[in-house]
Structure formats: structure tokens, C-alpha cells
Amino acid sequence: MTGVPDQPVLAVRGVSKSFGGVRALVDVDVDVHEHEVLAVVGDNGAGKSTLAGILAGAFRPDEGQLLLDGAPVALDSPKQAHALGIAAVFQDLALVDDLDVVENLFLGRETLQGPFLDEVSMEREAWTLLDQLAATVPSVRLPVQALSGGQRQVVAVARALLGEPRVIVLDEPTASLGVRQSAEVLNLIERLRERGHAVVLVSHQAGELQAVADRILVLRLGRVHGEFAGDASYEDLLAAMTGAVRPVRGEHDAVPRGARHAGGAGVVRR
């Protein structure tokens, strides 16, 4: 277990990304630590998913760089990011509905025994993974379309966990789920954190993020609009999200300190 003062596993330095005329991210700095849930929150179009994409290797930043354990890396594809220990689960989950759970988990990286698939060991590993996540999937041989939203989410997370990644990026994991399934996903995030993974959780539901986050990064219009401690008050978060308050000193190096302070002492506001 490492604490916050340690070196970040993954750091984003001065990253910008544009899609045509839209500046999705402007000069963003983020640190991701092990054994920590970093929540990224923002309004629609704040650049949350772009940031998730950049961390997961789906997008290449126009400017700036990513540091893995302090060394610059270029992530060209999610596959390469996964090889470096960064796994992502995107909003659409990218599961194949007609394949069963085991086939989905190992799609593209099947375990082979000679020329044949080693179904037995794959199934065993699938159960191990799902059990670790305390998943309530009835059978690993059910097609994914027969599972509930929460169970699919668990399968997608389990797939990301293959190969023991150090950083897990979850993009809107509770967006389409009911209360009970959201509860499952939030418990799952807590367990991932306890297992020592670094979790980057992207969502626009501040209340849900606060339940599990150690740190909360607020994005607004592609810029970092404040970094808060996990116990910052909801009002402070909303104010930063909606632009009701401005970052204290403009640039992000100054913002995290000031905002974190304000966040920690959010009680002062009332």
C-alpha cells in the first residue's frame, strides 16, 4: 500500500487535444496514484471522456506528454496501454452480446494449449476473476446479452483486470444502471482500490463519485477547474463544475493546492 505522497503511477503533463475546431482538452495536468480513486467530474463536453481516452491510449494528445512511473510514454493504442498496465472500460463496454462470458473475457488473447483453445483454464480463470470482484454472474457460459446491466459492467471490468493492470480507467460506469447495480459497481470500485489498483473514475454524477473518491478533479470546458479532496462539499463541486467560482489563481499548478484547501474546509461555507 502506498500513500499519496508517493510518486504517481501515471501523470499527465500539459496535455491538449482538439477535434477539428473543438478544443476538448487544454493544458491538463493530472496525477494518478496507486491505491487511490481519482474521480473526474464535469459537465457535458467538459473533456472527461477525452481525458479517459488519452489515459487509455485511445487518443493521442496533440501536445503534452504522459509519464508512466516518471518516464515519458507514448500510447498508440489501447492494446499497448494495456501491455503497460493501463486498462480501460468505456461507456459502451465493448462486449460481444452473442459470445458467452469466458469468450468475451479472453477475446483476442485466448489461452492456447497446442493449437487448441484451453477452455478449462480460461473458464477457471474467469471464475477466479469474477469471484475476486464478488460478481453475481450466474454462469460464465451464458451469452452476455442474457446478463443484467450491472453484471455486464462486472464482466467488462473483469476483462480489464486480466493481466493485473495497475491503472483502471472507468468511463461512466453507472450511467445506464439501476440503483442496485450502481451499488454493485461502487462496491466494486472500493474493492479495486483496496486491492491497490489506481482507479480513474469518470462521471458527471458528483454524488456518486463522492461516495468512493479520494480526490476529485473538476473539468470545465476542457480545463482543470479545481481539484478537491474526496470529502469536499457537494456545493463546492457543483460551483466548480458550473463555473460559478473560478479557479483561485488561474493556472492549474496553483489551483490544486488552493482548491484542495477550500474543499477540505468546505464546512466553512455554511
Partner 1 sequence: MNSGRYPSAVRADRVTPGSQTSLREANRARIVSAVQQRGSLTQVELAGVTGLSPATVSNIVKELTGAGVLHTSPSTRSGRRALQVTLARTLGLVAGVHFGTRSLRVALADASMRVLADQRMPLAPDHRADTGLQRAALLVAEMVASLDAAPGELLGVGVGVPAPVDVRAGRISTVGMMRGWDGVAVAEVLETELDAPVSVDNDANLGALAEARFGAAAGHDAAAYLRVSHGVGGGLVLGGRLVHGRGGVAGEIGHVTIDENGPICRCGNRGCLETFVGANVLLGMLSESRGHLTLRDVIARAREGDPGCRRVLFDAGQHLAWRPPTCATSSTRRSWWSAASSPRPGRSSSARSARSSSSGPSPARRARSRSWRPSWARPRRSAAPSPSRSTRPASAGRWG
Instruction: Using CB under 8 A, list all residues that contact partner 1.
Output: 1, 3-5, 36, 136, 138-142, 146, 178-180, 182-184, 186-187, 190, 194, 207-212, 214-215, 229-231, 233-234
Please state the closest distance from residue 146 (CB atom) to partner 1, in A. Answer: 7
Q: Is 52 or 140 the residue whose CB approaches partner 1 more closely?
A: 140
At which residue does the C-alpha cell 472500493 appear? Answer: 190
Q: Is 56 or 209 the residue whose CB approaches partner 1 more closely?
A: 209
Please state the closest distance from residue 212 (CB atom) to partner 1, in A. Answer: 5
Q: Is 64 or 264 the residue whose CB approaches partner 1 more closely?
A: 264
CB neighbour burial string for 66-91, b if at least 16 within 10 angstroms, e if fewer: bbbeeeebebeebeebbebbbbbbbe
On whether the CB atoms of residues 101 and 140 are closer than 8 A, the answer is yes
Ramachandran category for residue 85: left, alpha or beta (phi over 0 → left; psi -120 to 50 → alpha): left
Please state the closest distance from residue 158 (CB atom) to partner 1, in A. Answer: 16
**Joined grid coordinates for residue 186:** 461502487
Please state the closest distance from residue 136 (CB atom) to partner 1, in A. Answer: 5
Q: Is 77 or 136 the residue whose CB approaches partner 1 more closely?
A: 136
**Joined grid coordinates for residue 228:** 478537491
